[in-house]
Structure 1
Amino acid sequence: MRNRTILIVDDEPRSREGMKKMLASWAAGQCELLTADNGFAALRIAEGTAVDLMITDIRMPQINGLSLVAQLREKAAARQPAVILISGHAEFEYAQQAIQLSVVDYLLKPISREKLIAAVEKALKAGEERERILLMQKMADPELVAVAGGEASLSDPVRGAIQYVDAHMGEAVSLKEAADHVHLNGSYLSTLFKEQIGMTFSEYVARRKMQKAKELLVKTNLPIAAIAERVGYQTAKYFNKLFKEYESMSPGQYRTEMQQADAGI
């Protein structure tokens, strides 16, 4: 994971440089600290740099801190920095707008080193959790998400077949094995499965195996052949072929793309 980038926006040089100095000693080179003395400069930086956290004063000329955050939110970019607002005035209206803009924290000047660092650590942690969720969403198969969302309405045999697939991910699961497990004949389970899941049993198994493979590609450094084996395919060649059918790219290409996405968020 790359170093985090923190942007400090304040039109008062003493306040701006004071916060930078406090954070520099805390970060010990693990964060890039950028500064801007007005909202326009901050917007330019945010457009060209992946900013993880923005700390901005509210009262500034031309573009105040609240307008600055609102403009960043309006851009609706995939990447949105976490935000800490600072102010010399404890005004309810400011706090109210901060909540509406999903601001992580709202600090009053003068800011102590302890309070600033605690707020920054909280904001960066919140940002990392949001990034993790975004990455998981990018990996998720919409068809499987829909199945999981409607699992409560499934019949016991179909739910049991799904559980059987999950428990035997490293094997070549057959409809007959799943049917035997839920004490039905294969033909009847096949019909039930298609009616309730919206896809055939074999397609569900393939999608579930591809989902597990994607998780292993992103979260481990296992070779492709080892991942193929873990999801129940004896040959990497067939696994590669099937993966490409579902993801429109090879497992190796998928791993590279997701690693780049992870490094960029």
Structure 2
Amino acid sequence: MYKVILVDDERWVRVVLRKAVEQTKLPFEIVQECANGLEAIDALQKHEADLVISDVKMPIMDGIALAEQMTQVSANLILVSGYDDFQLAQQAIRFGVKDYLLKPVEMEAMADCLGRWMQDRTTKSARHLADSPLIGTDELSAIEQVQQFIGSNLSRDITLTDAAALVHLNPSYLSQLFKQQTGGKFVDYVIEMRMEEAKKLLIKTSLRVSEIAERLGYGDISYFSSTFKKLTGCSPLEYRKCGGRLDEAK
């Protein structure tokens, strides 16, 4: 069964989408329903979902911002849009959106969409098996696994020891390898990724700075703010006020 997360700020729409998925009789299981993109990002950290079906227009984090955030995860995204915001949905193609569903979503349209997704996934899996060499994980892929681990656990206390255990390497060796491959220290990379996520949350959501700090594993908002300013040259509120244009000016 493929695992699906439904995202829409209106409960009745989620009911319609759920029924449409179930009526297709295809091997898809709804594992969670969310009211906005931010909830969906949290859900993706808890569930190993294969597919997210999301509305475009939602409060806090809309479907376009969700598409941008999902470039860091393995799950695919299908957007649901009305005729008036279909062009907006099309803009998300640069973030890897797999397909679009126009409202009102009927079972036949859902079945076609899910069928295309399944076919695409099957084709890619076959190519991957054909191209994969029968060798163990090399050093480069180990670093890629560590980077993915960091990106998926920004709210946790991420340690070098945990990362080393993930890829079955000695922590000291992983530290040297990480610096060699990325050009920086492990701990600095974790901080940089947290600050990059903070930038996105400041611009894409209406969360308070304290809430963003907590989401990124900082119990002390003052420490979070000083770290953010050290890396960006401005405070979190200043960054939000200028809409991220300080990055463009650098």
Task: State the TM-score, normalizing by the size of structure 1.
Answer: 0.46
Structure whose alpha-carbon radius of gyration is higher: 1
TM-score of the aligned structures, taking structure 2 as reference length? 0.48
